[in-house]
């Protein structure tokens, strides 16, 4: 109760602080602060105070802070009627919009426009008219679209976004704009219509709209790229090719259009035609680095590494997308097994682009581990954890995986212990340490870690299975192991790992019939070496030597 009272006081005090600008404004205007100055009774004073500008400011701001926008609008309206202050009018309109009372928002926006007509207010009014008609599904109140001074379409679009238009509402806005186009003056009406189509996911309409432009400028190119990628994902390659070719006939050869054609041919698996298109495009526009880069990526993806390397080196001389170029050069050097050269390229990547820098450092560490330079790799990754604290766990898991894949279990244990000492708990790192403990035969640590996980996630099938399987292999506690594996199998009945564990614990318990049943089910799902080994051993123990021999020959 005490906490609740204190919190309410804090919220109330915060609301007063948020209202201070308005309070100071009214003080500067000389508004009377104290209702008792008139000598009224206490009851009358309270009534008068409730109708004073000070009370209304605090009440409206508190309601606004509490997101009770309807109540805020009521109090702002009283305050505006009392003061006729334009700043209050701004708050009032905002409260009406937040409470989705668009009719009153428009009514008082017109009053605000009567004081001062600005492009921003007109853009807001147009956006509100769209929203109002869509929400009430009727042209009520005789709302008139009458905008004869040219508005910037980007301002109107920004207000549509602030009004939380949905794709379906943008689609309805298209119809309204087409109907009222003669009454709405915009700087670029065709571009406004195109943006509405993109926002409403009307891709086919957008295709047609882009065809209408007399010039193919940056806006059209960007919009065309959005439409193109969406329809390419849907597999509409023939439609897209006809569209691109129609744009070429109208606007001539453009780098954007040539790259689109190459992507279409690539999607159609016509790689020779895609490469020919890019090669010719680079000849036509030799100074267009974007085209040259697209060609280099295509060459790399199609394993034409020598030509890709030459093209990328050309981009380096032009200082174009250096980080990405160095990354691709590193990948080519790695493919050629020139690991020191690969590291050299990757080290040239700067942290100007954090994402590619992060990936490049992980790749360098991987190459160092492949060369047996474990200490150097770990030092690099430790610094990466410092540089990217939000990815501390991801890098920690990466370090452990690198070492485990190289059978460096002791070193992996040291790394995991160090990272986990800096964390309260992380399920995946603890689970990985348990697996490493298993490989090192440290049954006490393995059991401690897995039981820690199960104390927090009792239905973690992987942890249940790992503990059960380890108890089967490393101890004689087979009945306890059986209980754990049984629970895991109830949770994940189609896991070949758990089926294998169940077959193996039955083998240890001496039930060969059930052992073979579960091991064969696991083998049907995966011919993993360990599963195969378990099945063969169980078959031999059961005297099924011929069946075991056939399975061994297949493995």
**Which tens digits make up the pLDDT trace of 179-228?**
999 999 999 999 999 999 999 999 999 999 999 888 877 777 888 899 99
Average pLDDT over residues 517-538: 95
How many angstroms separate the CA atoms of 308 and 335, rounded? 12
Q: What percent of the chain has pLDDT over 90?
A: 69
Residue 29 has pLDDT above 80, yes or no: no
Query: Which of these ranges, 69-83, 329-343, 533-547, has the smallest mean pLDDT?
Result: 69-83
Count of beta carbons in the 10 Å neighbourhood of residue 228:
24
Average pLDDT over residues 324-341: 95
User: How confident is the model at residue 148, as a pLDDT?
Assistant: 82
Q: Would you say how long the chain is, in residues? A: 555
For residues 7 and 498, the model is more confident at 498
- What pLDDT shows up at residue 137? 65
Task: Name which residue leads in pLDDT, 76 or 40.
Answer: 76
| pLDDT score recorded for residue 2 | 34
Question: Is residue 308 scored above 90 in pLDDT?
Answer: yes
Check residue 174 and give its pLDDT.
95
Torsion of CA 153, 154, 157, 162, to 10 degrees: -140
Q: Record the tokens describing residue 360, joined without a space.
A: 């490049």
Burial 194-217, CB ≥16 within 10 A → b, else e: bbbbbbbebbebbbebbeebeebe
pLDDT mean over 519-524:
95
pLDDT at 536: 94
Q: 46-76: per-residue pLDDT in tens?
A: 555 456 667 777 777 777 777 888 888 888 8
Task: Give the model's pLDDT for residue 326.
Answer: 97
**Structure confidence at residue 51 (pLDDT):** 61
Distance CA 262, CA 247 (A): 15
Give mean pLDDT, residues 140-149: 73
Judge contact between 467 and 501, C-beta under 8 A. no
Longest dimension (CA), the chain: 111
Residue 21 pLDDT exceeds 80? no
Contact 224, 185 (CB under 8 A): no
Q: What is the pTM of this model?
A: 0.70
Tell me what the pLDDT averaged over the chain comes to: 87
| Whether residue 367 has pLDDT greater than 50 | yes
- If pLDDT is split at 50, 70 and 90, which confidence band does 503 have? very high
**Is it the case that residue 362 has pLDDT exceeding 50?**
yes
pLDDT greater than 50 at residue 373: yes
């Amino acid at each position: 109760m005490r906490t609740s009272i204190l919190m309410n006081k804090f919220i109330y005090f915060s609301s007063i602080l948020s209202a201070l600008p308005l309070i100071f404004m009214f003080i500067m205007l000389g508004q009377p602060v104290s209702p008792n100055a008139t000598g009224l009774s206490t009851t009358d004073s309270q009534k008068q105070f409730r109708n004073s500008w000070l009370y209304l400011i605090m009440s409206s701001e508190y309601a606004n802070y509490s997101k009770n926008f309807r109540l805020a609008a009521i109090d702002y309206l009283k305050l505006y009627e009392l003061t006729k202050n334009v700043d209050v009018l701004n708050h009032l309109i905002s409260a009406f919009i937040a409470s989705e009372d668009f009719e009153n928002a428009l009514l008082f926006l017109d009053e605000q426009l009567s004081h001062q007509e600005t492009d921003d207010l007109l853009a807001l009014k147009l956006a509100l008219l769209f929203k109002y008609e869509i929400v009430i599904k009727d042209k009520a109140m005789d709302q008139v679209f009458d905008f004869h001074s040219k508005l910037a379409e980007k301002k109107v679009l920004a207000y549509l976004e602030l009004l939380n238009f949905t794709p379906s509402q943008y689609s309805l806005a298209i119809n309204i704009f087409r109907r009222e186009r003669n009454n709405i003056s915009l700087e670029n009406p065709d571009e406004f219509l195109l943006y509405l189509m993109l926002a409403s996911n009307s891709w086919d309409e957008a295709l047609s709209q882009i065809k209408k432009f007399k010039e193919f400028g940056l806006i059209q190119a960007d919009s065309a790229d959005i439409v193109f990628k969406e329809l390419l994902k849907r597999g509409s390659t023939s439609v897209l090719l006809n569209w691109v070719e129609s744009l070429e006939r109208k606007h001539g050869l453009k780098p954007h259009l040539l790259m689109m054609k190459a992507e279409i041919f690539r999607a159609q698996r016509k790689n020779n035609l895609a490469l020919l298109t890019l090669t010719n495009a680079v000849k036509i526009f030799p100074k267009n680095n974007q085209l040259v880069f697209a060609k280099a990526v295509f060459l790399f993806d199609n394993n034409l590494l020598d030509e890709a390397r030459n093209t990328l080196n050309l981009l380096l001389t032009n200082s174009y997308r250096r980080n990405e170029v160095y990354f691709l050069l590193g990948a080519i050097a790695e493919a050629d097994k020139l690991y020191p050269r690969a590291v050299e390229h990757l080290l040239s990547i700067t942290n100007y682009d954090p994402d590619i820098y992060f990936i490049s450092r992980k790749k360098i560490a991987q190459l160092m581990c492949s060369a047996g330079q474990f200490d150097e790799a770990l030092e690099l990754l430790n610094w990466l954890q410092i540089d990217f604290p939000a990815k501390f766990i991801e890098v920690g898991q990466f370090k452990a995986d690198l070492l485990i894949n190289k059978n460096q279990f002791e070193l992996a244990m040291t790394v995991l212990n160090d990272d986990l000492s800096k964390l309260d708990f992380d399920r995946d790192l603890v689970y990985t340490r348990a697996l490493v403990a298993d490989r090192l035969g440290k049954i006490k640590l393995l059991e401690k870690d897995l039981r820690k996980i199960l104390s927090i996630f009792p239905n973690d099938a992987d942890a249940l299975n790992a503990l059960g399987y380890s108890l089967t292999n490393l101890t004689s506690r087979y009945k306890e192991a059986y209980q754990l594996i049984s629970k895991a199998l109830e949770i994940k009945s189609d896991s070949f790992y758990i089926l294998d564990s169940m077959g193996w614990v039955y083998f240890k318990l001496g039930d060969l019939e059930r052992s073979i049943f579960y091991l064969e089910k696991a083998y049907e799902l995966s011919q993993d070496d360990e599963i195969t080994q378990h099945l063969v051993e169980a078959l031999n123990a059961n005297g099924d030597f011929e069946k075991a021999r056939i399975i061994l020959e297949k493995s």
